[in-house]
Copies of this chain bind each other. A is one copy, B any other.
Amino acid sequence: MQDDFSEADRRGLYRAIHTRRDVRSSFTGEQINDESLVRILDAAHHAPSVGFSQPWDFVLIRKAATRKKIKESFDAATAAAASELDSGRRSKYMSLKLEGIMEAPLNICITYDRGRFGPFVIGRSSIPDTGVYSVCCAVQNLWLAARAEGIGVGWVSILSQDDLRAALGLPDKIVPVAYLCLGHVGEFARKPDLESAGWLPRMKLGDVVHYERWGARTDPQWSAIEDMIRRNIA
């Protein structure tokens, strides 16, 4: 195929994938360049979507008054979540920095519109959630593009969807899927914060791969791949 990627092209993609971080601190406050932001949004808009339904919207938020309401929702939801934990894990949980809503210069809420181009959307009849899945693919495109532009992104999910609807004026039919905080950062950490903090370890690739059917961790037809995964050649 003539259209193939060069080594340099591939390296750029893999670099974005492997150095992308979920950023909650170290926002510098520097404003995001307008051209960068448009490229990031355009990348998100070029995600795959079920039946080409493109069911996403992007609400861009800079106003402090709006962000303050979201921060209040986060504080309430964090307290509720902490009450589920025993005292040891609770104090560790409360010590983690889990959002940068006010520090990041830009917040973006990405939403799902189930009515877009509907009611019939190709590929959505059997598994209705595929509409939301498309929006998540747009989130990941945005995240990788932001990384390549030197912009950190933090996904804040300790929020009430009702509070988001009220703060942003979302109609009932619109589902808020992701609330993201974007901004330049001092550095991208080498590892995820929750791995560095010892909250959870990174799993090995071999622990999440099955051959031909669930639970089959080995298969004679797949021995070359098994061996490469074990040796971590990627």
Residues in A lying within 8 Å of B, measured CB to CB: 1, 3-6, 8-20, 22, 34-35, 37-39, 41-43, 45-48, 50-54, 56-63, 66, 77, 80-81, 84-85, 89, 93, 96, 98, 111, 117, 120, 122-127, 129-130, 132-133, 136-137, 139-141, 143-145, 147-150, 155-161, 168-171, 174, 177-178, 184-188, 192, 194-195, 199-200, 202-203, 205, 208-215, 221-222, 224-225, 228-229, 233-234
Contacts and interface: CB of A to CB of B under 8 A. Distances in A.
User: Copy number of this protein in the oligomer?
Assistant: 2
A12 B5 contact: yes
Contacts of A225: 34, 37-38, 60
A234 B37 CA distance: 9
Given A120-B84, A178-B133, A200-B53, A18 B34 contact: no
B12 A8 contact: yes
19 contacts: A1-B187, A8-B8, A9-B15, A13-B148, A22-B48, A34-B225, A38-B225, A38-B233, A50-B155, A52-B192, A54-B203, A58-B209, A66-B212, A66-B213, A80-B125, A85-B120, A89-B120, A136-B140, A137-B139
Contacts of A199: 51-52, 122
Contact of A157 (B54, B57, B120, B126): B126
A61 B3 contact: no
Q: Which 8 pairs from chain A and chain B are nearest by CB?
A: A12-B12, A136-B136, A42-B234, A9-B12, A140-B140, A52-B194, A81-B125, A137-B140
B57 A155 contact: no
A5 B148 contact: yes
Contacts of A132: 129, 132-133, 136
Nearest to A53: B200
Nearest to A175: B129
Contacts of A140: 47-48, 136-137, 140-141
